[in-house]
Structure 1
Amino acid sequence: MKRIPRTLLCLTLAALTATSATAGSLLNYVGECVPFARAASGIQIYGNAWTWWSQADGKYERTHKPKEGAVIVFAKTARLPMGHVAVVSRVVEKRVVMLTHANWSRQNGERGHAEQDVTLFDVSPRNDWSDVKVWYKDVDGLGGGIYPVYGFIYGHAHAAAELTSRNPDYVGALIDAYVPGSGEPVAR
């Protein structure tokens, strides 16, 4: 059996990964969060997710206010050694947005799948989106962890139409309505 040179194999796998987010539906994507966010948002940044914030400086608008199609950049932590990026699919209210992202919850026992309209809740002390909680499918609720966030990157192009469903589940709005103190800052 003929061996494929390692360089050729790596380049082929990279090309397949880069195009898999755009092949067919974004929601059929399985892989890392970075290629998914790039394909879904149109923001052309490469490298580990946590580096997107600094790479965007001078190329894209960076802010602490969410809007549809913006990429949120999670900081590098022990739990997220490469950070995480996700795309805002819908702004529900000032402290709740919906995300569409890949490689967060397990689906059918494995990571990497795309998830549409996932609840993200701002729990930062200053209401500035610097600390968030994320809906975690494995527990069917907001995960127990609080994740530090750098902020939102606004792209120049239109975001993918599939970011949000026609009938999103407004779980985030219910959190503020029915969870006592959910709108209050949470200490770390």
Structure 2
Amino acid sequence: MTKRITAAVVAATLGFFALGAAPAKADDPYWQCVTFARMFSGINIFGDAWTWWSQAVNRLRTGDAPETGSVLVFRPEGRMSRGHVAVVSDILTDRVIRVTHANWGGSRGKVEENVTVVDVSGEGDWSRVKVWYNPINDLGSTVYPTYGFIYKNARDAFNAPRESTATGQP
């Protein structure tokens, strides 16, 4: 319970430093979350956001702990029928991260940088999160279910022996 309160306080404090979204221009690109996440993270997965998890499970490392550059995959639910993906840009605490993502809430088609996301799951496994929502300058009231994080490293590469940089030997 203390970790949840600490995470909420950290998130609220960070909100005071959040910048509002810039007004849209007619020639600005319209970003989808999957296109942006693929380009920004380098994780080469295609298709709707909710399909990323099943595509990654046998190909890439997946897990329930954030790493900078990993992709947080949101489950489809309610109005978010195709899920959502967001790239972890910073880890603030074990239950508070920042993500950079596109096409979220009040920023349709736009990229939002360093948005606060708080783990509100009972187990601390990032299976349920709240996301900072600029229009209200606070964490949104919705709790979003997630699959977890996809890491850029291929599953086999992660388990392979690593070479020593000094000798070139494993």
TM-score, scaled relative to structure 1: 0.65
Identity of aligned residues (%): 50
- How many aligned positions are there? 127
Deviation at 1:29, TM superposition (A): 5.3
1:68-147 equivalent positions in 2, closer than 5 A: 68-107=68-107, 111-147=108-144
Task: Please name the residue that 1:170 is paired with.
Answer: none
Q: What is the aligned-residue RMSD (CA, Å)? A: 1.4
Task: Please name the residue that 1:172 is paired with.
Answer: none
Task: Please name the residue that 2:3 is paired with.
Answer: none
Q: Distance in 2 between matches of 1:45 and 1:74?
A: 15
Deviation at 1:59, TM superposition (A): 1.1
In structure 2, give the amino acid aligned to 1:136.
Answer: Y
In structure 2, give the amino acid aligned to 1:130.
Answer: S
Q: Distance in 1 between matches of 2:100 and 2:29?
A: 11
- Structure 2, unmatched stretches of 5+, are 1-27, 155-170
Q: Distance in 1 between matches of 2:109 and 2:73?
A: 17
In structure 2, give the amino acid aligned to 1:97.
Answer: I
Task: Please name the residue that 2:160 is paired with.
Answer: none
Residues 102-146 of structure 1, C-alpha deviations (whole Å, 9 max, x = no match): 011324xxx110000000000001110000000011111100100
Q: Distance in 2 between matches of 1:61 and 1:132?
A: 21
Task: Please name the residue that 2:47 is paired with.
Answer: 47
Given candidates 112, 132, 147, the residue that maps to 1:150 is: 147
More strand by share: 2
Confirm or deny: 8 A CA contact 1:36 1:102 kept in the other structure.
yes
